[in-house]
Structure 1
């Protein structure tokens, strides 16, 4: 036994060390006094001696509680093999449970470094002196000053590296950082006289992480020493980052410099974000545990939170599992709830990450295992406790309040009160036509401007193509020459010998002239119907050059509105032709427009023909550009909006939302349908 930290009530504590399992157990005053006189070998004599020689007054219940603790942790000397066999059978896990636990977490010790650490420690004694840390401060300042002078080169270190060189640099840098991290724990523990029996690799849901066994640190009575051991890994990585920052300034460009850049900028940040968190059993947890002087911080905080939950919801008046001052109790309750929420997010994220890494069948199994083990199992275990204690429940203020809250929550999810949906939509004029440049040409004349009303057949702009004019002039010369030759054929023997060939060539020349004249006519932009001018291109100015196929302006009809709404797979089955839809523009420039739904498309949209709706152009539908087509990343169906009440057509297309009335469904039904759609989509059915 070793001296331990004081208890929460101020009484002394002791640590009981089990060298075989390398575990430490915190004993209170009563447990220490009983074990100190254990050699008496008689329960009555043991209790009498403790009650006589100390101010404690212990009874059989206290002794039985200690015996259960010692027996449960295999700390009693066993004289019969039957007892060992019975304990083995009680704690024997089935093959499935063994595989489950070792898949979720397993430790593999690789080295026993204690003797090597002891031999190397004198060479590193400078690290534990103030002079070293003053030196590191100077190195940090020097590195930051030099880097600030070459900031652009520093921030673009990785820009020129890709492929295997970058991957190798990242792998080496990460490996070095993690090895230095664990050596920081190991050397510091050995410096303070603690054994380091093993270092190795642990697999957390098949993710490899290095570990160092520093359990021996629990025997240190000095809290500062325990804190230094817990923080040594992060301090070692920060020291490595400081040295890497200065080293970067003197290395030539290459993979080595890229790896040093990673050490200086990334690895230590990731370490702080992960290891400094007290919500998982990483360095931050042990630091907070030592800072508060509370071994088994998670278990004790969770026990207190479960007690408070049962007291608040069920009205159970159980005594708290431990006594804490009011401020510490509030801190522990907040810590427990934040930890539960943090783990919910982390474990759910890991589960879905594993699902996407493996093929569908195995990924689904692993997803269910992790969600079941980390999330469903703890909740189900607490509900089992509530059910076991149902006889202790009494109707009172807290239970009435819990029943009312539960009823409200159930009704909120079960009642079909949610009957409207909002879907992305776009609306525009019923008549709309874009005008494009038929040929590469010069803008000779522009006769309209943005918003101007035009009549059918009105000339909007005239383009001129010198190349086309030259081709037309040449074609006319050829046609004129051939026409003269045909008229002179009866009077000229050479022309007469050509027979009908001249007539054929003349017809071809006339067709060529007509074709070129038609091309020239297409360079004159004419209004196809009565409307207004919209979206005039900046290139449509006199004297500028436009390319073939360039969009120049839009002619929008004066009356009539049409549009389309994009509905997800979950809600499309509730829509019917003729249903009312209310469109509200995102810009808020126009009042709500009431329309009717047209025929719902039978097939989902493989390509998105409306760029305004695509996320790559700022729209609401997640999409990506593949070649020249926009492909939605989710399943959406197009539903036309018809018979809109507004008669004045908008000048340009308006993106917005359409409120659609559907058959009311409860949130529970909606959740089930979403789950079914997601499962069907992932399964490919």
Structure 2
């Protein structure tokens, strides 16, 4: 103890409270710092030392603990306790060095403008009320909520609501239609706000009931998203884990009780227009609200209610920090075999739990933060959204990785060849080979196999069929008449237009002899020209009612529902013609696959979706570098179960939702001509590229697209 002649004095405002027994059964205490409102869990040895702190001399304190307890603390234990108290500013500042130390600590904790802005953008709290007086008034009036009878009543209400809702299930699932009004939106806003307010009051009232002070309630902003909060830090001074669990679960239990009552209310409220908004709000409280609060608050991977419940349940304070320390230690030992001791001595089962929990939390946060980054990007205009997204990724993902790699670098002098490092080199080499070696060469794309010459015949407009359709298998010649239609409405329009044109033509010939017609001047000729054009347009439309074969072909796929004299709607399919000149495959690729096909020899294989069909090899590959404005084959569209995301327009066109290009495969080794189209996959020969190159190209293309302001 040469380095510590006397014990520094403790701050007089510190408070010590009994704590719950540790996992090994030893007693614990909680040290409360009221200035910072922080709590520190102390073990048995630390408590015995602090209880004798007033003796002043370190050796006297250790000797007293030795004489009156079964503990045997060492000078190093006492030195570590003093350092912990000093780091957390729990000692009195009596010397000039102490003042300088506090000044440096305050200066270090004061971030620069950039860091202040960053931290306050990512997370900040806005205290709104000091609820102690309100809690003192409410506590005597809501004592019934803490009795078992109340929760039995809640369970009965939930059961009754479920039974009543099950009898009106169709109506229950269609209650969302009540939201489509300003009154419904207002009711939803009131319902959600009331649920979240009651959630926080549940925490506050339960904490107050068990003697904990609730200093503030307010709004916390997580990446600018408002979330109500209640400061229940004093729950850590409670020795009873059951009481701490009750405080942590009070918010979710309040919303569950509210949901049960709301479900019963929805079933009992009359289904009338004036009660529609109220029923919509009750429906929201009975379904969405409590489901969302359980999904968010019950998660132990963020510091919400579920985290504190799990921490109290397994009696592991600072669960995240302790789990992360074990997770980092496990990773370093598996990668480098430093031989460092575990952060703390725990039973093997609990240590494994902490390691698994740490990696589950990191995976959960990775997915969550990536989602938040994308959401932030899309909520703001491009420049700001891009900057904020990069801030999210750097702070939540890149910075923790950089810190861990820095810890590896600091230990570089202790790295030795051992089983762990040999394994690391082998695994890293294999991963690098897999990522950097050009493995990828083929491109797989949805495709359709069909005849090279194929043409569908459709009714050009609503008309009546005058001639029977040719039978399937009929051979026709180019220009041969196949179908004749008539449209009386079109004929009437043509006759009227022709009469108007004849009248205007006669007036034009008589213009020089009639003073009234001469007054019309050149406008009369213009009207006649327009009438003549209208006649020609209607005549062309009438000619389209006679369908002829565009090329020599066989008739296939005749519509069996069409008979002579039938009235057909516009666009009704009549038959399909297939020419004798071979087969083709139309494959649809995206812009990234298109780059892999540039400069490659023309060879591809078509694999049909239906089993039993052999692969078809095609040696002619023609890439159409123009982006398609619509998809010709409905089978490959997502609207009909295909792979290409698309949207069906009101006029029937299938418009792709991303850049799609067509690759035409010809010179296929399929004998004969395919009479029917087949869907499948085209395997195209592409440029050999590594996964790394593929990823870089994707990221570069995405970046170029998104920053193209």
The interval holding the TM-score normalised by the smaller chain is: 0.7 to 0.9
> How many pairs are equivalent?
648
Is 1:12 paired with 2:34?
no
Aligned to 1:275: 297
With over 3 angstroms needed to count, the CA separation of the structure-2 counterparts of 1:140 and 1:549, relative to structure 1, is: closer
- Which among 253, 257, 261 is matched to residue 279 of structure 2? 257
Q: CA deviation at 1:589?
A: 5.4
Determine the C-alpha separation between the residues in 1 that align with 2:159 and 2:225. 36
Q: 1:213 Cα deviation (Å)?
A: 0.7
CA offsets, 1:376-420, max 9 Å, x none? 111111111112112222222222112111111111111112211
CA shift in 2, pair 1:440/1:374, >3 Å: closer
Taking the TM superposition and a 5 Å limit, the aligned residue runs for 1:90-489 are 90-248=108-266, 249-251=268-270, 252=272, 253-437=275-459, 440-443=462-465, 446=468, 448-450=470-472, 452-456=473-477, 465=486, 467=488
- After superposition, give the CA deviation of every residue in 1:492-511 in whole Å (9 maximum; x if it has no partner): xxxxxxxxxxxxxxxxxxxx
Rounded to whole Å, the distance in 2 between the matches of 1:652 and 1:568 is 26
Task: Judge conservation of contact 2:482–2:549 (CA < 8 Å) in 1.
Answer: no
For residues 466-485 of structure 1, the C-alpha deviation after alignment (integer angstroms, 9 at most, x for no partner) is 9499989x99xx9xxxxxxx
Alignment CA distance shift 1:386-1:433 (3 Å): same
Deviation at 1:676, TM superposition (A): 0.3
Question: What is the rounded CA distance, in whole Å, between the counterparts of 1:547 and 1:597 in structure 2?
Answer: 39
1:561 corresponds in structure 2 to 583
Deviation, structure 1 residue 185? 0.6
Equivalent in the alignment of 1:584: 607
- Cα distance in structure 1, aligned partners of 2:543 and 2:367: 66
CA contact (8 A) 2:458 2:572 kept: yes
Q: Distance in 1 between matches of 2:113 and 2:126?
A: 19
What stretches of structure 2 of length at least 5 have no aligned partner?
Answer: 1-15, 500-535
- 1:684 maps onto 2:705 in alignment: no
Aligned equivalents of 2:555 and 2:269: distance in 1? 63
Change (3 A) 1:28 1:587: same
Task: Report the Cα distance in structure 1 between the residues aligned to 2:362 and 2:109, rounded to whole angstroms.
Answer: 28
Compute the displacement of 1:41 (Å).
Answer: 2.2
- The SS at the match of 2:450 is strand
After superposition, the Cα gap between the structure-2 partners of 1:436 and 1:634, relative to the gap in structure 1 and judged at 3 Å, is closer
2:44 equivalent in structure 1 = 29
2:537 matched to 1:537? Answer: no
Aligned twin of 1:618: 641
Cα distance in 1 for residues equivalent to 2:52 and 2:199: 43
1-side partners of 2:300 and 2:408: how far apart? 29
Question: Does structure 1 retain, via aligned residues, the 8 Å contact 2:374–2:389?
Answer: yes
Residue 66 of structure 1, CA deviation: 1.2
Q: Assess if the C-alpha contact under 8 Å between 1:621 and 1:632 holds in 2.
A: yes
List per-residue Cα deviations over 1:306-341 (Å, max 9, x = no partner).
Answer: 121122221122221122222222222222211111
> Residue 447 of structure 2: SS of its match in structure 1?
strand
Q: How far 1:433 moved relative to its partner?
A: 1.4
What residue is the counterpart of 2:680 in the other structure?
Answer: 656
- The equivalent residue for 1:483 is none
> Offset at 1:19?
1.1
Aligned: 1:608 with 2:631: yes
Q: Is the 8 A contact 2:600 2:686 kept in 1?
A: no
Worse-matched range after superposition: 533-542 or 395-404:
533-542
User: RMSD value over aligned CA atoms?
Assistant: 3.0
What's 2:74 paired with? 59
Contact 2:603–2:620 at 8 Å: present in 1 too?
yes
Distance 1:130 1:471 in 2: 84
Q: How far apart are 1:597 and its partner, in Å?
A: 5.0
Stretch moving more, 285-294 or 622-631? 622-631
Unaligned runs of 5+ in 1: 479-513
Q: Distance in 2 between matches of 1:358 and 1:164?
A: 26
Q: 1:37·1:46 contact (CA, 8 Å) conserved in 2?
A: yes
Contact kept? 1:454, 1:527, Cα under 8 Å: no
CA drift at 1:602: 3.7
Shift in CA distance, 459/443, structure 1 to aligned 2, threshold 3 Å: farther
CA separation of 1:468 and 1:383: change in aligned 2, threshold 3 A: closer
What is aligned with 2:529?
none
